[in-house]
Amino acid sequence: MLNRYGLLFLSIMLTGPALPQSGVRFRPFSDASLPVDARLNDLMSRLTLEQKAGLMLYNSPGIDSLNIPSYNWWNEALHGVARAGKATVFPQAIAMAATFDDSLVYHVASAISDEAGAKYHAAVSKNNRAQYAGLTFWSPNINIFRDPRWGRGQETYGEDPYLTACLGVAFVRGLQGNNPSYLKAAACAKHFAVHSGPEKSRHKFDAIPDERDLRETFLEGITARAGTGTLVDYLQGCRLYTRIDTYYGFREARLADVTIACMGLTRMLEGEEGGNALADILFGDVNPSGKLPVTFYKSVDDLPPFDDYSMDNRTYRYFKGEPAFEFGFGLSYTTFDFLEATPDKEEASMNDTVSLSVTIQNTGNYDGDEVIQVYGSKTDPLIFRPKKTLISFKRVHLKKGETKQVTVPVAVRTLACWDVQKHQYVIEPGKYELQVGASSKDIRLRKEIRVIE
């Protein structure tokens, strides 16, 4: 079915308007007024087996007899339209994840597809059907950043399945738009689900997680938990960039009164406004409010081997040691007190949503943002599960001295775990603790609810 709709996308995008053009035979599959299935059936009936096979290639050849030009499906837009000339360069995915702001990610992706549409139409007007000139994007990257030694982890939204799901869904919706009749652009989430290094052997390495990790981290963590469809390269580093930046940085430093050197990081991570953003924070014009979407470990010796895909002793959900900086950690020029957390119900079933009312106060001297993070933990579990897991979050802005009451929705289904005996998600009846705080470690309030069958 996916291939059929891919063919339809191609026919809609490439064959022009529904009305027949001069000298071109009219065909039903290009008639936007017809039902989707009718157009699909018409298109499929006209394609030979060889043509169908050709359209499955990323660089699909044209079909002159059907007025379908060639098309290259390989286009990139992880944090801006890539490799297609000038475009806005937004921060890399790992930096966007540090915002814990799905609304912001949605608007970023919407802006990307606006630029992509303009670039696509400009390319088509010149009969340019080359790679990176299309509207089908291999983005977002929803792999789980399970180990900091993976050199492409900055392309992801971090180590947590729930956060990855929320931001990934927001990106897809923003990129594709909300028009019921057409897509602004087509998002193709990548890569294979169980994929996060070693990069050099990815085309031959056989990653084998156990059933629970496969479901709770790599698969269902992205699908079921979402209910739909920062700078972390610190261990591997970028030695070449470090040497280059060191040379040019110190040469320019002699001309400045004050020098701020950021060593070992590629410039693409922070986006085109990264320098201005850093200056705004250093000079106090903006109050920092990012949160780590990954765990910073004290040593790689604290971790299992890189090519071991077991989640045991990885990420904040399973790590047994003491991290240098925990998942969800962040700094601010102000301080926040979590005063009260009250669930709207003490008992709930799997399909319910608990509204958690959180009272928070800015107790410092500056306006600022805080991310209210809610983690779930089962009391006396009978089935193995993470010690805690992120189940909701909400960013809130408070002026200095201001107190707000914020409603944070908690879907009970996010408390489910994978039962390896039944081979399905289950929610154990009983008591669950809702932990509310400023990070996975900095828990300020605890409230108990009971889940019933």
| Ranges of H-type helices in 143-302 | 161-176, 211-213, 239-253, 274-282
Task: Retrieve residue 114's tokens.
Answer: 């606006």
Among 219, 247, 265, give the residue marking a domain's end: 219
In this predicted structure, what is the pLDDT of residue 111?
98
Last residue of a domain, one of 165, 189, 219: 219
Give the type of residue at 384. Answer: F
> To the nearest whole number, what is the mean pLDDT of the chain?
88
In a domain, 281, yes or no: no
In terms of domains, do 37 and 162 share one? yes
- Is the residue at 169 inside a domain? yes
Torsion of CA 135, 136, 139, 140, to 10 degrees: 90
Contact yes or no for 356/447 (Cβ under 8 A):
yes
Query: Can you give the pLDDT at residue 181?
Result: 84
* pLDDT value, residue 256: 64
Residue 322 DSSP symbol? -
Does residue 38 lie in a domain region? Answer: yes
For residue 150, give the CATH number of its domain: 3.20.20.300
Range of the domain at 341: 336-451
Q: Is residue 255 part of a domain?
A: no
Please tell me whether residues 341 and 194 are part of one structural domain: no
> What is the dihedral angle through the alpha carbons of 426, 428, 429, 432, rounded to the nearest 10 degrees?
-120
Q: Which residues of the chain have pLDDT under 50?
A: 1-2, 16-22, 221, 224-250, 252
Q: What pLDDT does 297 receive?
A: 98
Q: Flag whether 331 is in a domain.
A: no
What distance in Å separates the CA atoms of residue 273 and residue 21, rounded to the nearest whole number?
45
* Residue bearing tokens 């962040």: 330
Assess if residue 39 is contained within a domain. Answer: yes
Q: How many domains does the chain have?
A: 2
Instruction: Please tell me the distance from the alpha carbon of residue 322 to that of residue 305, in angstroms, as a whole number.
Output: 18
The answer to whether residue 379 is domain-embedded is: yes
Is the Cβ–Cβ distance between 96 and 157 less than 8 Å? yes
Residue at 121: amino acid letter = H
What's the pLDDT score for residue 358?
Answer: 98
Query: Which of these, 337, 453, 451, 349, lies nearest to 404 by C-alpha position?
Result: 337
- 269 domain residue, yes or no: no
Give tens-digit pLDDT for 424-438: 999 999 999 999 999
Residues 211 and 350 in one domain: no
Residue 253: predicted pLDDT = 65
- Indicate which CATH number applies to the domain containing 348: 2.60.40.10
Q: What is the pLDDT of residue 232?
A: 37
Domain edge (last residue) among 179, 195, 219: 219
